[in-house]
Amino acid sequence: MNKSKDAAHRQKPPRGQAVLSNCPIQTFSYHSKAAKYFKVFGPAAVTFTGAPTGCTDICSDRGVSRLCQRKMDTLGPVPKPSETPIGGRDVRAVMTFYRDTSIERFLGDFDRQHLLSLLSLPFLNAWDLDPALRRLYNIVAESFTSDCEQVYNAATALRFAIMDCTPYVIIRSLYLYI
């Protein structure tokens, strides 16, 4: 009985075939409170059988396998099936991820180079910088600094209620977030 379970556990899905059924996609919505804005398409069971390599995009198999590897590195080595408490199955093999392809569909409606040109930001110290952008940089830097100063001086309870951060984070943000 155990032998058959071990054999079934070791059996890998056909290479490249189990991409959609076992593909755990973790989008950025997982990392933010904006998750409520994103539709998800139900949980998908993760199997640590390895995924075929592919390009490095957010929905690629390589990205998925790297996510799984990080989870495994955090949780430690997977025990043998006979040592696991739930019917020979490792509970960590059914961690829930969500597949969200809405970003791909949204971005697919537009020309990629067009989107990249919209995202491009000139080097802010360039001598031929657009004067409007230089003005924008000045007002954003000034207002951002003054806002951070006000938050820094605010009462602790207020600071944690609104900003949810320590003064150190605010000081660091002056260098990083602007």
Partner 1 sequence: MEIWLLWTLIKCARLPPPPPDLEKGVSRQRGKGKGIPIPANSKSSPIFFDRKQCGAVVNLDRLLHAESYSRSEATKAKYAVLESLYFPHDNSEAALRPFTSPLIAFAAMLCLERKGTAIYAPIFLFPPKIAKLQFSVRLTGFHMMLVDLHRYLGLTEDQKKTQEPWFE
Single out the residue of 166, 40, 164 nearest to residue 103, CA to CA.
Answer: 40
CB of 11 to partner 1, least distance (A): 29
Q: Is 134 helix (H, G, I), strand (E, B) or coil?
A: helix
Tell me whether residue 163 is exposed, middle or buried, using C-beta atoms within 10 angstroms of its C-beta: 0 to 12, 13 to 18, 19 or more.
Answer: middle
How many residues make contact with partner 1 (CB under 8 A)? 66
**Which one-letter DSSP state was computed for residue 89?**
B
Contact status, residue 81 vs residue 5, Cβ threshold 8 Å: yes
Quick one: 8 or 41, whose CB is closer to partner 1? Answer: 41
Per-residue burial over 26-47, b if 16 or more Cβ lie within 10 Å, else e, is bbebeeeeeeeeeebeeebebb
Segment 108 to 167, residues that bind partner 1, using CB under 8 A: 108-112, 114-116, 118-121, 124, 132-133, 135-140, 142-144, 147-148, 150-151, 153-156, 158, 162-165
Interaction between residue 34 and partner 1 (CB under 8 A): yes
Please identify which residue in the block is written with the tokens 């657009």: 130
| Widest Cα–Cα separation across the chain | 75
Interaction between residue 175 and partner 1 (CB under 8 A): no
Interaction between residue 11 and partner 1 (CB under 8 A): no
Interaction between residue 73 and partner 1 (CB under 8 A): no
Interaction between residue 86 and partner 1 (CB under 8 A): no
Residues that bind partner 1 (CB under 8 A): 26-28, 31-34, 36-39, 55-60, 63, 66-67, 102-103, 105-112, 114-116, 118-121, 124, 132-133, 135-140, 142-144, 147-148, 150-151, 153-156, 158, 162-165, 173, 176-178
